[in-house]
Amino acid sequence: MSYRNSGMKRYLALIPNILSTLRLVLACLFPFSPEEMWVWLILGSGASDFLDGWCARRWKVSSWQGGLLDAVADKMFMFTALITFAMAGRFPIWWIPIVIARDLTVAIAAGYAATIRSWDSFRKMEVRWSGKLATAGQFILLLTVVLVPGMISLALLVTVSCSVIAAGDYGLLFYQALRRQYRDKKTI
C-alpha cells in the first residue's frame, strides 16, 4: 500500500469512530430532550449504529478499539433511553435489567476476564446473530415506546426474550473460550 493510500485509510478509519461518538452525544442529549425529539434521536442512533459498522467493514478499517467504542456507545444510548422512559412512566424500571440481560452478561464476562487476566478470551469473542437480534429488539422497543405506546408490553416481551437468548449465547461462548484457554495452558 502506498503512503497516499495509507493516509486515506487512516482518515476513513475515523468515520466509523465519529459515528459511534455521535451516538454517545445523542445518549447524553436524550434525557434532556423534549419528548417530540425522542423518535429522531432514536432514529439517529440507529442510523449511526448501522453506518459505523457498514463503513468499517466496507472500507476494511475495523479495529478492536473501534468495536469497543461502538459497543460502549450502543449500551450508553440504550441505557440512557430506557432510564429516561422509565422515569417518564412509560414502563416500570424493574424491566430494565432483563431488557439489557445480554449487555449485563457481556459486562460481567469482560469484568471477569480482566480480573483473571484473560482478556484475550473476551477480546476474541465474535459478534453473534443473537446479539444482533437483541440490539434490533432493543431499538424496536425504543421506537414502540415513542410511536405505539399501546404495544409496549408486547415489545417488552419480545425484547426480553431476544436479550435472554443472547445472554445465554454469549455466556456459553465466553465459557467455551475460557475452557479452551485453560485446556491450552494445561497442555503447555
Q: Do residue 58 and residue 100 come from a single domain?
A: no
Q: Do residue 101 and residue 177 come from a single domain?
A: yes
* Enclosing domain of residue 19: 1-75
| Nearest-angstrom CA–CA distance, 111 and 47 | 29
What does the pLDDT read at residue 176? 85
Q: Which residues contact 11 (CB under 8 A, 6 or more apart)?
A: none
pLDDT bucket at 82, cuts 50 / 70 / 90: very high
160 occurs within a structural domain: yes
Q: Is the pLDDT of residue 1 over 60?
A: no
Q: Do residue 114 and residue 186 come from a single domain?
A: yes
83 occurs within a structural domain: no
89: alpha, beta or left? (left if phi > 0; alpha if psi -120 to 50): left
Q: Is the pLDDT of residue 4 over 60?
A: no
- Taking only the tens place, the pLDDT of each residue in 135-177 is 999 999 999 999 999 999 999 999 999 999 999 998 898 888 7
93-99 mean pLDDT: 93
Instruction: Tell me phi and psi for residue 44, to 5 degrees.
Output: -65, -40
> Which one, of 71, 70, 93, lies nearest residue 82 by Cα?
93
Q: Do residue 67 and residue 98 come from a single domain?
A: no
| Nearest-angstrom CA–CA distance, 151 and 91 | 11
- Taking only the tens place, the pLDDT of each residue in 27-67 is 999 999 999 999 999 999 999 999 999 999 899 998 888 88
Give the DSSP letter of residue 124: T
Contact 131, 102 (CB under 8 A): yes
The pTM score is 0.85
In the listed set 75, 102, 122, which residue is the last one of a domain according to the structure? 75
